[in-house]
Amino acid sequence: MSKKKSLTILVIVLVVIAVAVGIYFATQKKAEKKALILGTGGTGGTYYALGGDIASLWMKKLNVDVTPTPRQPPRPIF
């Protein structure tokens, strides 16, 4: 195969790859902000404050809306 033909094939392959990558990124949705609920301990305990700090960190670093919510253990059924 001649150098000119090889170069032509290489250029065609690169153009096809560039078009495919462009189509892929054009069809992707923009980053949507997600919302989470973070279960923590009771409001009087250590884990409630820790959950609030984790929620703040996630909101700042991961761009996620997080709501820390105290969770109570399930009550036994007798």
40 with 13, same domain?
no
In this predicted model, what pLDDT tens digit does every residue of 28-46 receive, in sequence order? Answer: 666 566 678 888 878 777 7
Share of the chain above pLDDT 70, in %: 81
26 with 44, same domain?
no
26 with 38, same domain?
no
* 26 pLDDT above the threshold of 80: no
Number of domains in the chain: 2
- Domain of 49, in residue numbers: 34-70
**Count of alpha carbons within 13 angstroms of residue 16, beta-carbon side:** 6
What band does 57 get if pLDDT is binned at 50, 70 and 90? confident
pLDDT at position 32 is 60
* 73 pLDDT above the threshold of 80: no
Q: Which residue has the higher pLDDT, 33 or 50?
A: 50
Residue 12 lies in a domain: yes
Residue 11 lies in a domain: yes
